[in-house]
Structure 1
Amino acid sequence: MNISCTRLLVVLFVFVSISTKAQDHTEVFHEHEFNFRHSFSQKYSANFGLSSRAYVYTNEDVLYNLRQVQISHFSTLKLDLKHSIALGLMYRNRDAFENSSNEIRVTQQFNRKSLFKTLRVGHRLRSEQRFYDSFTAFRFRYRLALDIPLQGLKLDVGETYFVVTNEGLLTSSKVHKPELEYRISPSIGILLSEALNIEFGVELRLDQLNINTEDSLFFNTSVDIKI
């Protein structure tokens, strides 16, 4: 592991330490995700995801209790080298693990990517319809992502990269007040092969910013496989 990667790991550790000490009631989760991608043509590709979320720390107790599992699908159509649109469908099950509603989610997405030397910049707009047992919520999201290889001018097999995402969210429904959220997530990824890469990161979520701010911290791991 080179010096740059080591420094980024130190930054992630400091980020986690500051975040967990910022609030006495911070909840900590672990989220793990598997994604399977397949390109049917140069323009159309599909992604199938399986993920789980577990409590790691809550109410001053350390534990590991599964909270939910979910499956998802995204169909993506490239418009040109920089732009794409996508349609997603997700099913989340919580009722099997806690007294909470399951969810079906439909997502529409627009994505733009730009490259400035070695820095890649991504803009993502999403609208979501979230169907629960007793109500429907509508959410709008904007995410700015920055990623850069840690060795050389481009990412090669066996090398690492750094990515950080910033996202703002607005949720509205008939039964709840509109809610504003913010998320920031730095991560380190490794391209193990042309068809496999993994990422390790942390994510700080600030919910209900306009009502009564609640914060939570996520330790994220993801595996992406091209098939």
Structure 2
Amino acid sequence: MRKLSLLIITLISLNSFAQQVAESNPAKELGVWYMYNGSHQISNKFSLKTMAHFRFFEIGDDMQQFIGRLGGNYKFNKNISATLGYAFLNTDRTFEINNGDFNEHRIYEDLNVNHKIASLSLAHRFRAEQRFFESTTGNFFRYQLALSHPINKKWSTYLYNETFFDFDGEAYNQNWFGGGFKYKISDIIKLQVGYQLINVNEVNNFNRIQLGVAISTDHKK
């Protein structure tokens, strides 16, 4: 119970800190991503992957992007799986409230490779995305390396880096680097708090706090 209280205090402190940064320097707001991620096991081999992210330029104000994903995952063995899915995005490109929104549809394919080195878990994700927006098509290739390590039975820490490559423009598109902590409430629910640095086209950097919940269910029985 004390650890859960500590996590709640940490979340409140991060929100307060982000608001102070935004007020002291409006040109460099510290944004926030509110995240839901789900994994729902249907059989020994198949599961559904669900996701909904609400991404804000500032804390609770001026939403930059909503993204929802739904995918089917097939597990080849304990280390390798693949996902085929669909994503819908609504994005504001103008940094202004209710202005410049556009919708995007994506088809994506993931190859996931997981393994361990002692107690350190490593996850490699290779993702191809086909993008459809404003009568335009595009293609991304993304590679993510994620590391996670348990602190105790409830807490774990993680670190990741993901690079985006654009087949239709400059090869390098953007890079996401982040890390944080996860708290296990139960076998079904985990909470997440973290930080992410986004570099776009080697020009712009964006700082984001991540607050999330992950839900895993098992429907095999």
Same fold, TM exceeding 0.5? yes
Q: Which runs of 5+ in 2 are unaligned?
A: none
Q: Tell me whether 1:164 sits opposite 2:165 in the alignment.
A: no
- Give the letter aligned to residue 29 of structure 1: G
**CA drift at 1:92:** 1.2
Between the two proteins, the alignment pairs up a number of residues equal to 198
- The residue identity in structure 2 corresponding to 1:172 is F
Q: Does 1:68 align with 2:69?
A: no
Paired with 1:104 and 1:27, the residues of 2 have a C-alpha distance of 28
Letter in 1 for 2:150: P
CA 177–204 in structure 1, closer or farther in 2 if over 3 Å, else same: same
**Do structure 1's residue 83 and structure 2's residue 80 form an aligned pair?**
yes
Give the equivalent residue in structure 2 for 1:142.
Answer: 143
* Residue number in structure 2 paired with 1:104: 105
Secondary structure, counterpart of 2:192 in structure 1: strand
The answer to whether structure 1 residue 131 and structure 2 residue 132 are counterparts is yes
- Verify the 8 A CA contact 1:119 1:147 in the aligned structure 2: yes
- Unmatched runs of 5 consecutive residues or more in structure 1: 58-62
Counterpart amino acid of 2:212?
A: S
Deviations 1:158-178, CA, capped at 9 Å, x for gaps = x100000011111132xx444
Alignment-derived partner of residue 118 in structure 1: 119
Change (3 A) 1:206 1:94: closer
Q: Please report the TM-score for the alignment, with normalisation by the length of structure 2.
A: 0.79
1:193 is paired with a residue whose SS is coil
* Greater Cα shift, 97-106 or 186-195: 97-106
Residue 34 of structure 2 aligns with which residue? 32
Question: One-letter code of the match for 2:183?
Answer: I
CA contact (8 A) 1:67 1:98 kept: no
**How much has 1:183 moved relative to structure 2?**
1.4
Aligned partner of 2:175 in structure 1 is 182
Partner AA of 1:119 in structure 2:
L
Alignment partner of 1:214 is 2:211: no
**How many angstroms apart in 2 are the aligned matches of 1:219 and 1:37?**
23
Paired position in structure 2 for 1:195: 188
Secondary structure of the structure 1 residue equivalent to 2:185: strand
Taking the aligned partners of 1:125 and 1:69, their CA distance within structure 2 comes to 22
Report the CA distance shift for 1:215/1:25 in structure 2 as closer, same or farther (over 3 A). Answer: farther
Q: 1:65 & 1:171 partners in 2: Cα distance?
A: 27
SS at match of 1:98: coil
| CA distance in structure 2 between the partners assigned to 1:160 and 1:66 by the alignment | 30
Percent of aligned pairs sharing the same letter: 21
- Do 1:52 and 1:69's aligned partners in 2 also have CA atoms closer than 8 Å? yes
Shift, 1:143, TM fit: 0.8
CA distance, structure 2, for counterparts of residue 129 and residue 25 of structure 1:
33
Aligned-residue offset at 1:26: 4.2
Runs of 4+ in 1 over 6 A off after TM superposition: none
Distance in 1 of aligned mates of 2:85 and 2:146: 20
| 2:91 matches 1:94 | yes
Report the Cα offset of residue 135 of structure 1. 1.6
